[in-house]
């Protein structure tokens, strides 16, 4: 590798690490906010702002890396075993659907990705909740969660848009 | 490009620093056991909470032994079977006797520590329920009453045939002793569930009140919930122990003056006050008094709060509970009266 | 796709959710499972989402038949002398345990949207 290429991959690694750390902090912080579902481990999904930002600047591969790293570390630090499943379901569903759609969305429409991501995140959460507690009755929370997901998703989408403006450089360039 | 990287780094560092503000809920120490003929579940927070709870369990077992009516080793047993002779007692027992007598005096005899002969006649002590005859009750009634008990500093004398029983205040009393001991051990956040007797110390670790549900006397649902801190909550109701014979229901809360189950139109009484023993004694007394006398008693003393549920389902609460009071979903049609 | 199309889609979804919320209100207390203890040891955790009936035999030979139905749990029948556990009826709330003292059986529902720290009764 030439010195230029080495420093490029180091910069990429650094940036991914920083993104992971940021996502992790948000993930842990949002635990302080009220729980959308009456089950331990469910989360609002605010950390998806990083997922959204990364998808539009770094491509699916790196985004997935950051997502999985954040989920793994997050559930380790949270101390609750169930957090892993909720975060995986929420994060992966959000990631996959937004990735599928990101080509049809413009940067200005990042909030749309946010809303969709928020909805998907919460659908993932409720699916896991029903599976883990074996209480199909929880499905009654679905409309609440979709509405809530649209709200938090809008928020994360706008934040991601803000991030994109302040930190516009694509990772791939590095 | 470096600028962007630095910005990202700055953002991340800020977020990480914010994380240190978050407080993770501390794990509670928990102990569950059976004592005083009931299931007990104690939860406490703080360092040494587990050890403090283990000692608390010990304390309850010892208290149970010393207050037992059936255990030959207890002072209460000795006094009950001394046939009029004085029995020496420890200061702890004397204190409880003094408290019970003062409560009997305060409630005009509605709560009486000497009703044991009557309770036994109905079979509530052996769970072999029966309806005693009027003649039997007439024979037992003279044995009941605070005047049957003479207490000096360290001796206890009962009239022949009279018997003391602390079943009506034992759990509340235990709750107070436990709360004292736990506070001395440095615990400032705990909730003690002694059967249906609840005793709380401080608030939950995050500063919020403890949420205590009051059960609907007629179903498994919760009628309402109270947010409390540093106090006890005790409920008495006929539904707790009763039997039916020939279409008539008889319960274990007796009117000491007649010997029959107290029928005053109430199905349950819940009392809230700093002292568990006071709550325990008053919940029984107010049930026996009925809604009108209970309201009078509250206006006279005002050192407690209460929730009374009548047979028709309506609810009476004292003014101290009014703020933020609401019935649970499904009970919106119940009438609520506030005593002032 | 144009932004206004997205807005329309989201508005429609929100409306559907609102309708669903009105049609299907949240239940009062939904405990999700119950822990069953025998003499202080957790022997079984039962989800309350599906109906069930089973019998537990205590070390002293006594039996309790436990039933789960409609998100609630109770002791349907027991061989204990006082039958207080059966008398307690259904529980669906964290904080309201069903207890059979003679058999050392304790049923603790857990989870739920309005958890109580304790229940007085």
Taking residue B161's Cβ as centre, other Cβ atoms within 10 Å add up to 15
Give me the domains of chain C, ranges plus CATH numbers.
Answer: 33-110 (2.60.320.10)
* Residue of higher predicted confidence among B181 and C1: B181
Measured distance CA(B187)–CA(B217) in Å, rounded: 33
φ/ψ of residue B33, rounded to 5: -160, 170
What integer pLDDT is reported at residue A108 of this predicted model?
79
The residue ranges of every structural domain in chain B are 231-339
The span from the CA of B340 to the CA of B282, in Å, is: 18
Number of domains in chain A: 1
C4/A contact by beta carbon, under 8 A:
no
Point out the residue among B1, B12, B22 whose CB comes nearest to the CB of A32: B22
Q: Considering Cα of B74, then B78, then B81, then B84, what sign does the dihedral take?
A: negative
Chain A neighbours, 3+ Cβ pairs < 8 A: B, C
pLDDT computed for residue A5 by the predictor:
60
What are the strands, taking DSSP E only, across chain B?
A: 29-35, 38-45, 87-88, 149-151, 155-158, 189-194, 197-201, 210-215, 222-228, 232-237, 242-245, 248-251, 266-273, 305-310, 315-318, 336-339
Residue A8 at interface with chain C, using a CB cutoff of 8 Å:
no
Q: How far apart are alpha carbons A172 and A139 in whole angstroms?
A: 41
Contacts 24+ apart (CB under 8 A), A107-111: A107/A56, A107/A161, A107/A164, A108/A161, A108/C3, A109/C3, A109/C6, A110/A52, A110/A56, A110/A157, A110/A158, A110/A160, A110/A161, A110/A164, A111/A154, A111/A157, A111/A158, A111/A161
Give the minimum alpha-carbon distance from B29 to chain A in angstroms, rounded to a whole number. 17
Query: Looking at residue B53, what is its pLDDT?
Result: 93
**Low-confidence spans in chain A with pLDDT less than 50:** 172-174
Residue C113 has pLDDT above 80, yes or no: no
Q: Read off the CATH number of the domain in which A127 is found.
A: 1.10.1760.20
- Band (pLDDT 50/70/90 cuts) for residue C93 is confident
Cα–Cα separations (whole angstroms), residue C30 to A39, A137, B99, C85: 11, 9, 42, 21
Could you tell me the two tokens for B336? 């609520």
Residues contacting B19, CB < 8 A, separation 6+: A25, A28, A29
Q: What are phi and psi of A111, to 5 degrees?
A: -60, -30
Using a CB-CB distance cutoff of 8 angstroms, which residues of chain C are in contact with residue A158? Answer: none
Q: Give the best residue of A8, A16, A25, A33 to mutate against chain B (max B CB count within 10 A).
A: A25
Say if the Cβ atoms of C120 and B213 lie within 8 Å: yes
Residues of B in contact with A22 (CB under 8 A): 8, 11-12, 15
Chain B residues within 8 A of C97 when measuring between CB atoms: 39, 41
Are C47 and A135 spatial neighbours (Cβ–Cβ below 8 Å)? yes
pLDDT, position B308: 96
Report how far residue A34's alpha carbon sits from residue C93's, in angstroms, rounded to the nearest whole number: 21
pLDDT given for residue A174 in this prediction: 33
pLDDT given at position A40: 53
Cα–chain center distance at C56: 18
List CB contacts (< 8 A) between C67 and chain B.
none
Q: From the CB of residue B90, how many other CB atoms can be counted at a distance below 10 Å? A: 10
- For A137, the closest of C3, C18, C71 (CB atoms) is C71
DSSP-derived pairing of the beta strands B222-228 and B210-215:
antiparallel
Closest Cα of chain B to C81: distance in Å?
8
Chain C residues with CB-CB distance to A38 below 8 A: 30, 32, 111-113
Q: Give the residue from chain B lying closest to C25, CA to CA.
A: B329
Question: In B2-88, where does DSSP find H-type helix?
Answer: 2-19, 49-67, 75-80
Q: Which residue has the tokens 């047979």?
A: B311
CA distance C109 to chain A (A): 13
Contact B222 C90 (CB under 8 A): no
C51 touches chain A (CB under 8 A): no
Q: Do B8 and A19 touch (CB under 8 A)?
A: yes
Closest CA to B279 of B254, B306, B241, B240: B306
Q: Using CB atoms, list chains with 3+ pairs below 8 Å to chain C.
A: A, B
- Check CB contact under 8 Å for C117 and B204: yes
Could you give the CA distance from residue C101 to residue C85 in angstroms, rounded to a whole number? 8
Percent of chain B clearing pLDDT 90 (strictly above): 61
Q: What is the pLDDT along chain B (340 residues), one digit of tens a residue?
A: 566 677 777 777 777 666 655 545 567 898 988 888 888 999 999 888 999 999 999 999 888 888 888 888 889 999 999 999 999 998 888 999 999 999 999 999 999 999 999 999 999 988 889 999 999 999 999 999 999 999 998 899 999 999 999 988 999 999 999 999 999 989 999 999 998 899 999 998 888 889 899 989 988 788 888 989 999 999 999 988 888 999 999 999 999 999 999 999 999 999 999 999 999 999 999 999 999 999 999 999 999 999 999 999 999 999 999 887 888 767 877 888 999 8
User: Who among A26, A79, A169 is closest to B15 (CB)?
Assistant: A26
For residue C108, the Cα-to-chain-centroid distance in whole angstroms is 9
Task: Specify the pLDDT at position A107.
Answer: 76
What residues make up the domain containing A138?
A: 3-173
The structural architecture, per CATH, of the domain B231-339 is: Roll (3.10)
Closest CA to B326 of B175, B238, B223: B223
Q: Tell me the pLDDT of chain C averaged across its residues.
A: 85
Residue A27 in contact with residue A47, Cβ under 8 Å? yes
Q: Identify the pLDDT of residue A173.
A: 42
DSSP annotation of C93 reads S
Of the two residues B327 and C25, the one the predictor is more confident about is B327
Q: Which residues of A touch B15 (CB under 8 A)?
A: 21-22, 25-26, 29
pLDDT value, residue A172: 47
> Hey, how many other C-beta atoms are within 10 angstroms of the C-beta on B106?
17
Number of H helices, E strands in chain B: 9, 16
**Distance (Å, whole) CA B170 – CA B154:** 20
Q: Decide if A4 touches B, using CB distance below 8 A.
A: no
């Amino acid at each position: 590798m030439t010195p230029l290429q080495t420093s490029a991959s180091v910069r990429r690694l650094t940036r991914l690490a920083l993104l992971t750390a940021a996502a992790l902090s948000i993930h842990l912080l949002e635990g302080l906010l009220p729980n959308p579902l009456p089950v331990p481990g469910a989360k609002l999904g605010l950390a998806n702002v990083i997922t959204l930002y990364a998808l539009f600047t770094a491509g699916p591969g790196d985004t997935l890396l950051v997502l999985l790293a954040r989920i793994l570390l997050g559930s380790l630090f949270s101390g609750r075993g169930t957090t892993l499943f909720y975060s995986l379901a929420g994060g992966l569903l959000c990631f996959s659907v937004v990735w599928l759609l990101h080509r049809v969305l413009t940067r200005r429409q990042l909030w749309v990705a946010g809303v969709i991501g928020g909805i998907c995140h919460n659908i993932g959460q409720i699916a896991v909740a029903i599976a883990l507690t074996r209480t199909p009755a929880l499905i009654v929370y679905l409309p609440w969660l979709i509405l809530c997901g649209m709200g938090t998703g809008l928020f994360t989408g706008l934040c991601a848009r803000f991030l994109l403006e302040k930190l516009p450089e694509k990772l791939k360039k590095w | 490009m470096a600028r962007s990287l630095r910005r990202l780094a700055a953002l991340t560092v800020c977020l990480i620093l914010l994380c240190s503000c978050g407080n993770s809920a501390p794990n509670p120490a928990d102990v569950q056991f059976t004592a005083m003929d009931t299931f007990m579940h104690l939860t406490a927070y703080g360092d040494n909470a587990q050890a403090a709870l283990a000692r608390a369990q010990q304390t309850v077992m010892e208290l149970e032994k010393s207050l037992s009516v059936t255990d030959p080793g207890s002072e209460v047993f000795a006094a009950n079977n001394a046939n009029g002779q004085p029995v020496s007692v420890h200061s702890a027992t004397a204190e409880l006797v003094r408290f019970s007598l003062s409560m009997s005096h305060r409630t005009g005899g509605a709560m009486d520590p000497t009703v044991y002969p009557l309770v036994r006649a109905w079979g509530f002590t052996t769970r072999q329920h029966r309806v005693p005859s009027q003649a039997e009750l007439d024979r037992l009634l003279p044995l009941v009453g605070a005047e049957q008990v003479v207490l000096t500093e360290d001796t206890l004398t009962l009239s022949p045939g009279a018997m003391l029983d602390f079943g009506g205040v034992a759990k509340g009393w235990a709750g107070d002793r436990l709360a004292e001991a736990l506070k001395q051990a440095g615990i400032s956040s705990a909730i003690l569930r002694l059967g249906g007797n609840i005793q709380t110390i401080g608030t939950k670790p995050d500063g919020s009140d403890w949420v205590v549900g009051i059960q609907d006397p007629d179903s498994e649902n919760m009628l309402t919930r109270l947010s409390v801190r540093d106090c006890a909550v005790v409920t008495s109701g006929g539904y707790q122990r009763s039997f039916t014979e020939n279409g008539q229901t008889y319960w274990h809360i007796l009117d000491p003056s007649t010997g029959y189950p107290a029928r005053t139109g109430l199905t349950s009484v819940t009392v809230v006050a700093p002292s568990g023993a006071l709550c325990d004694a008053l919940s029984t007394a107010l049930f026996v008094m009925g809604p009108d006398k209970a309201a009078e008693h509250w206006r006279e003393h005002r050192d407690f709060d209460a929730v009374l549920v009548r047979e028709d389902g309506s609810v009476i609460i004292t003014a101290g509970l009014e703020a933020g009071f609401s019935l649970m979903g499904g009970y919106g049609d119940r009438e609520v009266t506030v005593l002032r | 796709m144009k932004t206004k199309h997205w807005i329309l889609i989201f508005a429609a979804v929100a409306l559907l959710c609102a309708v669903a919320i009105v049609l299907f209100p949240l239940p009062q207390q939904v405990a999700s499972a119950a822990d069953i203890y025998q003499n202080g040891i957790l022997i079984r955790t039962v989800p309350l989402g599906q109906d069930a009936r089973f019998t537990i035999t205590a070390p002293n030979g006594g039996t309790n038949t436990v039933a789960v139905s409609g998100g609630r749990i109770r002791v349907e029948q027991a061989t204990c002398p006082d039958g207080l556990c059966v008398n307690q009826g259904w529980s669906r709330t964290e904080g309201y345990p069903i207890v059979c003292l003679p058999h050392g059986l304790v049923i603790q529902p857990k989870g739920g949207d309005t958890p109580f720290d304790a229940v007085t009764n």
